């Protein structure tokens, strides 16, 4: 193991992912250099340049960093993606942070923090964005009333829908429809 490899392991450096893998002789597990597990004792580390080499030497992949799946982007990205998928399929429902967290089997505070870190907005902001995106499509493609559309995308009152729409788009739903007639 070189000094550069050790520094990459110690600092959980993502830049070295896929370039090499490290395995622990004590646990018989191999990891990416960016794995967030506890820093290993250097005397127990063995270096491999492919995941297949590590597997062929009797090591199994780490369940935290999944080094055998290079397209995997990490647990936080996976959690944020699952939360997005849940909200995209339930955007018309009334739900809370606790509801989503319970469905994903995760702590609500961790979900909130992780989602904001990865996606860049809160779950509520994302829900509003999703609802408004669907409302825009309905305003342009249908002749449904604005009131009906507000209920259709999940808002319980027209005034709340109009307030959120105007804040995000800069105009009222009716003005938006009139400006975007086919």
Supply the pLDDT for residue 92: 87
Q: Cα separation of 66 and 35, whole Å?
A: 9
Supply the pLDDT for residue 110: 92
Supply the pLDDT for residue 72: 63
Q: Cα separation of 11 and 67, whole Å?
A: 17
Mean pLDDT by 10 residues, the chain (182 residues): 89 87 93 87 92 91 81 76 91 88 92 91 92 93 91 92 93 89 65
Which two structure tokens, joined as six digits, stand for 57? 């030497």
Q: pLDDT by residue (tens digit) across 74-108?
A: 678 888 999 999 999 988 888 888 999 999 899 99
Supply the pLDDT for residue 70: 64
Q: Which residues are catalytic?
A: 31
Supply the pLDDT for residue 133: 94
Whether residue 104 contacts residue 82, with contact meaning beta carbons closer than 8 Å, is answered with yes
pTM: 0.65
């Amino acid at each position: 193991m070189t000094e550069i490899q050790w520094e990459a392991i110690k600092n959980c450096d993502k830049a070295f992912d896929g370039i090499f893998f490290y395995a622990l002789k004590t646990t018989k597990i191999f990891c990416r250099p960016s794995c967030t597990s506890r820093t290993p004792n250097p005397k127990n580390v063995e270096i491999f340049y492919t995941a297949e080499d590590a597997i062929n030497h009797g090591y199994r992949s780490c369940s935290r960093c999944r080094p055998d799946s290079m397209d995997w982007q990490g647990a936080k990205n996976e959690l944020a993606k699952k939360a997005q998928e849940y909200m995209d399929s339930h955007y018309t429902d009334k739900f809370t942070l606790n509801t989503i967290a319970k469905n994903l089997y995760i702590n609500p505070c961790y979900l909130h923090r992780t989602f904001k870190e990865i996606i860049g907005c809160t779950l509520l902001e994302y829900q509003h964005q999703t609802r408004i995106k669907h409302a825009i499509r309905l305003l342009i493609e249908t002749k449904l009333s604005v009131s009906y559309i507000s209920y259709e995308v999940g808002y319980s009152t027209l005034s709340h829908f109009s307030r959120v729409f105007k804040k995000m788009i800069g105009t009222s739903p009716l003005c938006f429809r009139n400006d975007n007639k086919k």
